[in-house]
Structure 1
Amino acid sequence: MEQKETPHIKPNGVEIAETILLPGDPLRAKFIAETYLDNPVQFNSVRNMFGYTGSYQGKKVSVMGTGMGMPSMSLYSWELIHVFGVKNLIRIGTCGAIQDQMNLYDIVLAMGASTDSRYVHQYDLPGEYSNIASFSLLEKAKKGADEKGFPVHVGNVLSSDIFYNADSTAIEKWRKMGILCVEMETAGLYMNAAYAGVNALTILTVSDHILRNEQTTPEERQNAFTQMMEIALGLA
């Protein structure tokens, strides 16, 4: 695959694989590369948004941070798709649960991603658009989670532009519509992937329960999130 560069991604001749894992935190990308990949080589360090390519069980796979929020995720995923030819984009991140049946460390597979963002307006669609995952990746991820016995929820998540919301009733309104959890990137990723005709899936770990005011520590997150990473790597 011919490699180019953008103002945000400069691979310096290192290949970016067709399948890439996308954590928000670039240091988590570094952890995944060093812990799970064989012979990882760094392909990006622009703005400290670290990216690496290596192999997992004999298959080439890349991992790269995306930052926080849909503008950042959408920028990086667009370039990865259109400039570097990535075909399978798998977001791995954290979320805040808002349903009673969910617990800390549970895994969420985002079948759909509702949003309060206006990102979709660029497409000038004559109606409302549903942001959904690629079924092939979703099906494979669910099977992998079940085989490993991981607690997993499949459904609709909220990709919100707002972390500190002035509307104190917003979460309850989304909860009543069956939204499982809140995060900040998936809808933008799913729109970019759909428009380009490639595959995308988000796999999340519950780091907080918003309604119960439960939270994990950074140390607990580092250890517990390995389940999510194993599912994602199994899709390569």
Structure 2
Amino acid sequence: MPTPHIDASHPDQIAKTVLMPGDPLRAKYIAENFLENVEQFNETRGMLGFTGTYKDKQVSVMGSGMGIPSAGIYYSELFDFYDVDCIIRIGSIGAMQEDINLKDIVVATAAHTDSNIFNGYFGNTRFAPTPDFDLIFDAKQKSDELGLTTHFGTVKSSDEFYGNEEEIYFDRLRHFGVLGAEMETAALYLLAQKFKKRSLGIYTVSDNIVTQEADPAKERETGYTQMMELALEIAPQ
């Protein structure tokens, strides 16, 4: 039963929990460095997907591409066609608070968005999708156990990477405590709620929009191992 975007011919080729970075090369890195007994289930459009085991539990990892339109296709197909129960997004995020440092971890308790896709669902209602509470709780416990610097709060899922947001709105988001900006999580939380599934967004801070600090591209692909380990540790069976 391959879909237009995923090669897997049977749901058993994909684990019930899928970790999803935007970058397919990050998915490949995780499969090669954290998983055992790895089998590749997707290469359509270069969006690599792998299934293996981590500490005796089956886990899949697959790229989603950049932005809500791309990621939303893969989230929908995994939830609806392959009966995936849980997707954990693992990505990079631009911090919007000065006290959040490079390589800190952010866990999104809700996702704001400027995406017009939401208008097709709710019209003028500004629906705020949220993740699975038990996954947030597990992430907090495991983060403390591993001694990680982790921030819990809301994020903004932007439709544009090179946006032209007026400074007043950026400052207002900061004032209201938004931790950072990324591009996919609002779609993940929306679609998980639509299909009655579980989801969570975990990110490593790759840059700080306020201080203008930033990590190089290669570091974003392979260097964010604490985020990867945290996601793998809390991944449900």
Residue 37 of structure 1, aligned match among 30, 35, 38: 35
Partner of 2:183: 184
Residue in 1 that maps onto 2:56: 58
Q: 2:2 — aligned with what?
A: 5
1:208 partner letter: D
Identity among equivalent positions (%) equals 46
Structure 2 counterpart of 1:23: 21
Matched residue, 2:215: 216
- Could you tell me whether the CA contact under 8 Å between 1:110 and 1:156 is conserved in 2? yes
CA contact (8 A) 1:105 1:224 kept: no
Change (3 A) 1:48 1:226: same
CA distance in 2, matches of 1:183, 1:124: 22
Confirm or deny: 8 A CA contact 1:208 1:216 kept in the other structure: yes
Match of 1:116 in 2: 114
Residue 62 to residue 179, structure 1, CA distance change in 2 (3 Å)? same
1:138 maps to a residue whose letter is I
Change (3 A) 1:148 1:45: same
**What's the offset of the Cα at 1:55?**
0.6
| Counterpart residue type for residue 83 of structure 1 | F
Calculate the TM-score normalised by the size of structure 2: 0.94
Q: What residue number does 2:193 align with?
A: 194
Structure 2 residues not aligned, in runs of 5+: none
Aligned to 1:49: 47
What's the Cα RMSD here?
1.4
Q: How does 1:217-232 map to 2 (within 5 A)?
A: 217-222=216-221, 224-232=223-231
Q: Distance in 2 between matches of 1:176 and 1:192?
A: 28
Residues 143-173 of structure 1: per-residue CA shift (max 9 Å, x gap): 1111000000000000000212223413222
Asked whether the 8 Å contact 1:69–1:161 carries over to 2, the reply is yes
What is the rounded CA distance, in whole Å, between the counterparts of 2:52 and 2:165 in structure 1? 44
Could you say what secondary structure the match of 1:214 adopts? coil
Cα distance in 2 between the residues matched to 1:162 and 1:155: 21
1:6, distance to aligned residue in structure 2 (A): 0.4
